[in-house]
Amino acid sequence: MRRGIVRRPAINFQEGQTTVDLGMPDYERAFGQHDTYCAALESCGLTLTRLDPDSNYPDSTFVEDTAVLIGRHAVLARPGAVSRIGEVTAVKKSLDPYFASVETIHEPGTLDGGDVCEAGNHYFVGISTRTNEEGARQLGKRLGLLGRTYTLVDVRGVSGLLHLKSGLASLGENRLAVIKALAERNEFVSYDLVDVDAGEEYAANCVRVNDHLLIASGYPRFAANLANLGYQTIELEMSEFQKMDGGLSCLSLRF
């Protein structure tokens, strides 16, 4: 990976959508956490495109939901929350110079990038409250044309999961981090699984960037498991984004 796209939180970040009750985020603290996150991406070798905050879209700091990147090709998402559809336009402008093709998910399909977990040439596509079967099928068709395979994973009945990647991450080397509620699913039987213990579920949303793994701070058992497996980790405070259903992967597009 050489590049990333990020967008700072807007001043009305706290007006975004959330399904959790963890209190109101503090904007200044969120701003600082975002700066630290960007610095971590840069330390892993990424050159960042930094989009301006957009108060028209309080959730727009979560840029991952706006697109799925497949090698040198991009698929613009169609977010399942209607209030977020307008976020895609600015991200498209940032993708156009770097990708050979930029396709689009069309109505009635909905797709959030947070429901798409890349594991090498295979992709897990979550069916959730934000991504419907039509959107997943449209993405799957594009994946097939580009020589990738995919598996649909229905997470609508899993408590506490807004997106598939709220409970699943690819760590490389045919290894997945996975919460207990997903660990027994047939979709993952061919992978080595790193269990995320009960009470540390938020830690499952981690990000492999070149030779490092970004993980949320405050989850010692998961951090210890990764260290024992030989991963070089960078722990980042994510408290203010967690209050708004956001995780580490949500805050950037990486390619």
Tell me which of 38, 44, 117, 163 is the catalytic residue. Answer: 163
Instruction: List, in sequence order, every residue forming a beta bridge with 51; answer none if it has no partner.
Output: 7
- Distance separating alpha carbons of residues 98 and 69, to the nearest angstrom: 11
Tokens of 235: 């722990």
List the one residue out of 52, 108, 55 whose CA is nearest residue 78.
108
Q: How far apart are CA 35 and CA 22, in angstroms?
A: 22
What DSSP string runs through 161-179? -SSGGGSEEEEETTEEEEE
250 is an active site residue: yes
Copy the structure tokens of residue 1: 């990976």
Catalytic residue annotation: 163, 250
